[in-house]
A and B are shown apart, each in its own frame.
Chain A
Amino acid sequence: MDEVSVRISSDLDLVRAREQGRVLAGQLGFTQSDLTLVATAISELARNIVRYARRGEIVLRQAEDGGVPGIVIIARDEGPGIPDVNRAMEPGYSTAGGLGLGLPGVRRIMDKFEIVSEVNRGTVVTVTKWKR
């Protein structure tokens, strides 16, 4: 099973992770607009890592469901964690003066979204996009 891990610790890594996501989803035959959705989701998740946890990783994994290929994006860090995940998922909620659209936006553009976060332990966001 194909899997790539991109270490994230600077805004240059964001661009790198985005490109990797495009390559993998491209190999799976994603449409042009789905490639852009995938790259954008990676961008939001990787930026949250840099901004809130300083470092972490993005794992990109190939998936399959009844013959339909998909891409799984795992954004993992050992940063401060999120005290109130429900709140963080509300559009417009930001502790950093951002638009607060990263997490809710990613949930909207992906097919599956999971977030597990523990204060002082870190955050793992796992999202999946299936090929259409």
Chain B
Amino acid sequence: MAVPILKQGPFLIASIQSALTDTDLVQLRDALVGQVGSYRSRGVIVDVTALDVLDSFASRTLRDLAHMVRLRGAETVIVGIQPEVAFTMVRLGLTLEGVATALDLEEGLFYLDQKLRSTQQEG
């Protein structure tokens, strides 16, 4: 099942609607890495609220996604990790090291806005 990707100003928002297969998740990663270029986006939000499982494969794929997006000059923030999912990830020893996370979509947008503002001030 394809995940809808919404363009909102300089950002891309992918809201996962239901459980995803590994193939779906890899497709999402590739689509986002591609669209960051076509829309010249500055940030990507991946909303995982609907995911009831974030296992080793999903963690690695999200981490890869964030690193690839960064190599393309944009920032990624993962939002909506559910409390039980966070609990399980910690127990499993899974981390999202080097990846920004935020509570929900609103906080994610705030985070990216701040990032964008600070780079504009520097430049």
In the docked arrangement, what's the CA distance between A101 and B89, Å?
A: 11
Residue A87 at the chain B interface, CB threshold 8 Å: no
Contact A99 B21 (CB under 8 A): no
Contact B57 A15 (CB under 8 A): no
Query: Could you say which residues of chain A place their CB within 8 Å of the CB of B52?
Result: 18, 22, 36, 39
- Known contacts A98-B60, A105-B93; decide if A11 and B55 are in contact (CB<8 Å): no
When the two chains form the complex, which single residue of B57, B88, B94 contacts A47, counting CB atoms closer than 8 Å?
A: B57
Contact A109 B88 (CB under 8 A): yes
Query: Could you say which residues of chain B place their CB within 8 Å of the CB of A104?
Result: 93
Query: Could you say which residues of chain A place their CB within 8 Å of the CB of B83?
Result: 33
In the docked arrangement, what's the CA distance between A11 and B91, Å?
A: 24
Contact B53 A99 (CB under 8 A): no
A residues near B (Cβ < 8 Å) are 11-12, 14-15, 18-19, 22, 32-33, 35-37, 39-40, 43-44, 47, 91, 98-99, 101-102, 104-105, 108-109
